[in-house]
Amino acid sequence: MRRSKYVLIIFLIFFVLILATVVSLFVYELGKPPTVKARSYLELRLAGPIQERAAPDFFTAFFTGTQPLSMHDIWMNIQKAKVDSRIRCLVLQVGMLQCDWAKINEIREAVLDFRKSGKKAYIYIEEAPEFDKEYYLATACDRIILHPLGWLGINGIGGYIPFFKRALDKLGIEAEIEHIEEYKTAYNMFTEEGFTPAHKEMMESLYSDLYSHYVKGIAEARGKTEAEIRRLIDKGSFLGDQALEAGLVDYLLYWDEFEDILKDKGRKLYRISDQQYSKVKPASLGLYRGKKIALIYGMGPIHTGEGTYQTMGSSTIARYLRRARKDKTVAAVVFRVDSPGGSAVGSDVIWREVFLTKKEKPLVVSMSDMAGSGGYWVSMAADKIVAQPQTLTGSIGVISGKFSMARLYDKLGITAEKIAYGNKADMFSTHRKLTPEERALLKKEILWIYDRFLSKVAEGRNLSKEEVDRIGKGRIWTGSQAKERGLVDEIGGLSRAIELAKELAGIPAEDGVSLLVLPRKISFWDIFIGRLATANKSNIHPEMEKLLSAFELLEKERTLAIMPFWFSLE
């Protein structure tokens, strides 16, 4: 009896928590837009992962009243603040950002565009021992303020890329991978003990170009020569007084002293947070009203079937594209891609929908941090492709193979008996290695897919197959390098992609447009199920999670168009 009573109490507590969470969801999502006072400043707090469309976190919202910000939110907030007469300035507080350089550049360009309104932008930094990407963003502001005891570290771009072949050898695991061609290094971390000549050439080219954009951007913003900036970067770190003397920051101030700078004609400005300001409707400020443009987000590794909020499922993205194509009120489509690639078949399913949609209405691709291999495959049929200078793209190539664990099973004492009908029935079994005949067959199959990849790039980009093959072979390019080679049309961000879509749809530049954003906000149960599905990885280090993803993707999708897993070198 007592046990039943305890079970009932636990059930009631669980029910109340669920009910409270759902109520908090409705309060957060359906609550009235905040009142923005005259003489306000918008505070943008940026730290941690920056995703294109962050999945709503209702559990966090319940306990903290906040939601994760996404690139879409940040971009939209800055757009709104630029035209909102109640917002007098923008204040950034930036911590360590977990994203690549293209997203940083996208936010940086948005801040620079905000300043064209005549309003000021400031950034306040307390302490930043490793702050290269973040400092690059900071230089978009009118003034950079550092805490008097703050420490600013700008030490360049680079680090170490891990290789795991020796570790796998010790475990008794062998990666049997066929790839097209020499720059297709997605699984080299499993098959090599270090760089191949092609791999090293590609990585040095990428990082050299990223470093060049970094140095040039800082030099222009801080009124210094590129040689001066390189010397400062080589020094590495600066205490507050040193950073001020070097011209890297403008003031050393405590927060209360900084607030004095924000006064408007001697009157204090009111703060509104990015979370609150996200609820202000763009249409209330005269933004994004008019003819409709579909803005479709494709994020994460590509696979066949339905996607989740962190992966690009071919069925899901195809459905969004068909919806935009069939909707007569949609004048054009902008497809925002942030993906390292994945399944070749999944990529081709999406490519077909892009191809069909382009026949009906203009379609522009906007590339984010990466649109490599499968990410490029889904993009190449667009009318126009826009990328940031630092976007990682290209990687036109194919890969396939498996992991043989026969020696590991032997070490563990695991035995197996074979029952197979068909000579190749156990070809992809982890219990044995591929035969030479099977490896030759695998190579032939991916060469056939590579040939189709070349043909579709050639058709979409108005190049010959020979030209595409020369710049293909699995090689990754930065956005600026890709533009030089005809893989990208323009350098820019989401705003430029929307401008191009308007132009192609015959919408006058001065006219506004409304945005149909897909996917729409995700339901509570979508997130709940998604959390359960990923709970087993929730405490895994991000770099280790990439390794697990590499194993899983090759297990689920036999033929991949995927770029190298991008390990953090900061």
Q: In terms of Cα–Cα distance, which of 494, 556, 523 is closest to 58?
A: 523
DSSP string, 153-220: EE--S-------HHHHHHHT-EEEEEEESTT--TTHHHH-SS--HHHHHHHHHHHHHHHHHHHHHHHH
| Token duo for residue 352 | 């077909």
Per-residue tokens: 203: 């990585």
Q: How far apart are CA 468 and CA 457, in angstroms?
A: 7
Catalytic residue among 70, 366, 373, 480: 373
Please state the separation of Cα 152 from the chain's center in Å.
26
CA–CA dist 346, 305 (Å, integer): 8
Which ranges constitute the DSSP H helices of 413-566? 436-461, 465-471, 479-484, 494-504, 524-534, 542-556
- Nearest CA-CA partner of 401 in 185, 558, 237, 167: 558
Dist. CA 531–CA 466, nearest whole Å: 46
From 477, 301, 335, select the one nearest 395 (Cα to Cα): 477
Give the C-alpha separation, 556 to 550, whole Å.
10
Residue 210 to residue 397: CA distance in whole angstroms? 23
* Whole-angstrom distance, CA of residue 343 vs CA of residue 363: 23
Q: 286: which residues sit within 8 A by CB, 6+ positions away?
A: 83, 512
Residue 237 appears among annotated catalytic residues: no
Cα gap 71→231, rounded to integer Å:
32
- Answer yes or no: are the C-beta atoms of 162 and 293 closer than 8 Å: no
The C-alpha atoms of residue 99 and residue 108 are separated, in whole angstroms, by 13
> Is the omega angle on the peptide bond into residue 181 within 30 degrees of 0, that is, cis?
yes
Instruction: Give the residue numbers marked as catalytic.
Output: 373
